[in-house]
Structure 1
Amino acid sequence: MICSYRELGEHELTGILRNDVASFLQKHQCPKTAEHVLKVGEEARRIAVLYGADPTAAEYAGYLHDISAVFPNHVRIQVAREIGVEVLPEEEQFPMIIHQKISAYMAEDLFKITEPEILNAVGCHTTLRSKATLLDKVLFVADKMEWDQTGIPPYLEEITEQLQTSLDHAAFEYIQYLWNRRELLKVVHPWLRDAYDELRDSLNHNLGNPK
């Protein structure tokens, strides 16, 4: 079990990100996560092609988004502080959420990713955020469609249907799914709240609904 960022050490890179990420996660006993991120990378590329995002950037973001799974939940706040990542009160209360920020740091530090759009997408893939970019939304939706749980996501049919309308509709479908169950959530992350408000207002405006 890895309890400190320093314990990761060096990871040899081959220049083929898909293979490098998979071997990294397998090396640290996260084979299910390795399988998940490869599927998300493929789905992100597919969605990127549909909506005019950079397919390679989307694929890379998908591969990298959960690399922080090597740190168990109970040490993630400690790791975040060790590497200088800001910890919000909601993240301290529910450490799982901060994995998105840690993954973004690791993508740059360990896998030498320098493109801000990839790092930013990785850094908000769980919650989304206000003023989300096209790539942010691509990764967000891809991750929810290729979730890391067993079985079929309970919202998959609805997101798939909304994706035929627009990427914003698909992203909002998932956020609204959570929002309608917010009383059952351990926390409501402020970035998720911001994304909900912004997408709701934007979609209502486009429909000519002032509410």
Structure 2
Amino acid sequence: MEREDALKIVREQLTDHRYQHTLGVMETAIALAKQYGADEKKAELAAIFHDYAKFRPKDEMRNIIESQKFSQDLLHYNSELWHAPTGAYLVEKEAGLMDKEILDAIRYHTAGRPNMTLLEKIIYLADYIEPGRHFPGVDEVRDLAKQNLDTALIQAVKNTILFLMKKNQPVYPESFQTYNDLVKRQED
């Protein structure tokens, strides 16, 4: 699928603000793919589609999670996490994108997972550091991303977990598992 076709499909699903965010994620993902040797076309498409389901009704996302036998415990955590796995499902069904590597990068861009692929890491990080993001800690992660992808990813996951903890919100267990996996791999 070509960039223009993908952007046209996604544009219909997003607000103006979220579309601008998507463009930032796309450019950041392409740059990270170039820097770290990932497939740039796959990074581009995964970034374009990463928030495809962001504004779907919660009931629709809940139904997809239940019917597709996604991890049911996901329903007990913040619904902000739901758009990633439901987005991967809907991108395949509605946009016809069948590449498993791209779909997994969409699926895991919010919580991560242990043993993340290079493309999954790039999309997670590109979503976190795209130029339109402004929050405490993002500049540090941007700087780290220039040096080492895994170090930047560890800091991004850690920042997210700490942010949720400070707000007394539950942290999805897979986010902790992602952090632990990344730290252990860096120690090895």
Same fold (TM over 0.5): yes
Output one character per residue of 1:158-187: Cα deviation in whole Å (capped at 9) or x when no partner. Answer: 112211321001110111112333422522
- Assess, with a 3 A threshold, how the Cα gap between structure 1 residues 185 and 97 changes in structure 2: closer, same or farther: farther
SS at match of 1:104: helix
Q: Is this contact kept in 2: 1:172–1:200, CA < 8 A?
A: yes
- Give, in whole Å, the separation in 2 of the partners of 1:127 and 1:47: 19
- Assess, with a 3 A threshold, how the Cα gap between structure 1 residues 48 and 25 changes in structure 2: closer, same or farther: closer
Count of aligned pairs: 187
- Give, in whole Å, the separation in 1 of the partners of 2:13 and 2:160: 31
SS at match of 2:113: coil
Corresponding residue to 1:167 among 136, 149, 168:
149
Moved more, 169-178 or 33-42: 33-42
Q: Is this contact kept in 2: 1:73–1:95, CA < 8 A?
A: yes
- Give, in whole Å, the separation in 1 of the partners of 2:25 and 2:114: 22
2:171 is aligned with what amino acid?
V
Tell me by how many angstroms 1:28 deviates: 4.4
Higher helix share: 2
Output one character per residue of 1:139-170: Cα deviation in whole Å (capped at 9) or x when no partner. Answer: 0100001277xx61322211122113210011
- Assess, with a 3 A threshold, how the Cα gap between structure 1 residues 63 and 114 changes in structure 2: closer, same or farther: same
The higher radius of gyration belongs to 1
Q: Is this contact kept in 1: 2:24–2:131, CA < 8 A?
A: no
Corresponding residue to 1:97 among 81, 96, 110:
81
- Give, in whole Å, the separation in 1 of the partners of 2:13 and 2:178: 33
Match status 1:62 vs 2:33: no
Match status 1:46 vs 2:28: no
Q: Is this contact kept in 2: 1:159–1:173, CA < 8 A?
A: yes
- Give, in whole Å, the separation in 1 of the partners of 2:32 and 2:152: 11
2:94 is aligned with what amino acid?
L
2:179 is aligned with what amino acid?
Y
Structure 2 residues not aligned, in runs of 5+: none
Output one character per residue of 1:28-58: Cα deviation in whole Å (capped at 9) or x when no partner. Answer: 4623222221221111000000000001100
2:140 is aligned with what amino acid?
E
Which residue number in structure 2 is paired with residue 194 of structure 1?
177
- Assess, with a 3 A threshold, how the Cα gap between structure 1 residues 181 and 24 changes in structure 2: closer, same or farther: same
Moved more, 90-99 or 18-27: 18-27
Task: Give the share of equivalent positions with the same residue, in percent.
Answer: 24
Corresponding residue to 1:37 among 15, 22, 26:
22
- Give, in whole Å, the separation in 2 of the partners of 1:147 and 1:190: 28
SS at match of 1:181: helix
Pairing of 1:116-155 with structure 2 (within 5 A): 116-146=100-130, 152-155=134-137
Which residue number in structure 1 is paired with residue 158 of structure 2?
176
TM-score by length of 2: 0.87
